A and B are shown apart, each in its own frame.
Chain A
Amino acid sequence: DQQVKQNSPSLSVQEGRISILNCDYTNSMFDYFLWYKKYPAEGPTFLISISSIKDKNEDGRFTVFLNKSAKHLSLHIVPSQPGDSAVYFCAAKLNGNKLVFGAGTILRVKS
């Protein structure tokens, strides 16, 4: 039962352009959402988060949008840089800080 889905396994973007990574969820009990970034041979690192009571959160080049009615969130990276090339995981939180992760999207930023 995949409660968090990232339907695009990979995304390729030109340097300087916008990267948009998407995530859908099914459980309406999720109250907090996070994006993690993972480089090869490293563990995931926290990138940005959003509470379910908000629809947007911004941190520098990274913005996360939440559409609760559609059970959809997206991560926008503007402008994209080659160093952003990594696997991006969407995660949703249940009670007790339990995270449910999506399968990840591989982002490649071409210079």
Chain B
Amino acid sequence: EAGVAQSPRYKIIEKRQSVAFWCNPISGHATLYWYQQILGQGPKLLIQFQNNGVVDDSQLPKDRFSAERLKGVDSTLKIQPAKLEDSAVYLCASSPRIRENEKLFFGSGTQLSVL
């Protein structure tokens, strides 16, 4: 079974530039998550999708971050414009459904450096 795929693996941009990350979840997984992990901290949930609908985006900085999951499969996370404090690893995760206590499967992440 293929895992969660993310690209690019690394990205370096200057502040105020735009950047986009892509995620392909495990086939058949209805729920998709984007997490932000800043160095020295644990992952923090940015947004959660159930199929192509948003379940929770309460911690997404909506003035600069946006995410979509067209057709309920792949997802993209965009930052526009980027700030220095956005430097982090962006992790995508998926789970079969939103059933209680469902474990998450994580991708390898995209490491973003904002200079």
Query: A residues near B, CB below 8 A?
Result: 4, 6, 32, 34, 36, 41-46, 49, 51, 89, 91, 93, 96-99, 101-104
The answer on a CB contact under 8 Å between A97 and B108 is no
Query: B residues near A, CB below 8 A?
Result: 4, 31, 40-45, 48, 55-56, 91, 93, 95, 98-109
The answer on a CB contact under 8 Å between B55 and A99 is no
The answer on a CB contact under 8 Å between A51 and B101 is yes
> Closest 9 A-B residue pairs measured CB to CB?
A101-B42, A43-B106, A46-B103, A101-B43, A44-B106, A103-B42, A43-B108, A32-B101, A43-B107
Closest beta carbon of chain B to A44's beta carbon, Å? 5
Task: Known contacts A41-B108, A96-B56; decide if A89 and B43 are in contact (CB<8 Å).
Answer: yes
Contact of A98 among B40, B56, B108 (CB under 8 A): B56
Contact of A43 among B44, B48, B95, B109 (CB under 8 A): B109
A–B complex contacts, Cβ < 8 Å, 14 sampled: A4-B42, A6-B42, A41-B108, A42-B108, A43-B93, A43-B106, A45-B106, A96-B48, A96-B55, A98-B56, A99-B104, A101-B43, A101-B44, A103-B40
The answer on a CB contact under 8 Å between B40 and A49 is no
The answer on a CB contact under 8 Å between A89 and B42 is yes
- List residues of chain A with CB within 8 A of the CB of B105: 46
Q: How far, in whole Å, are A98 and B58 apart by their CA atoms in the complex?
A: 11
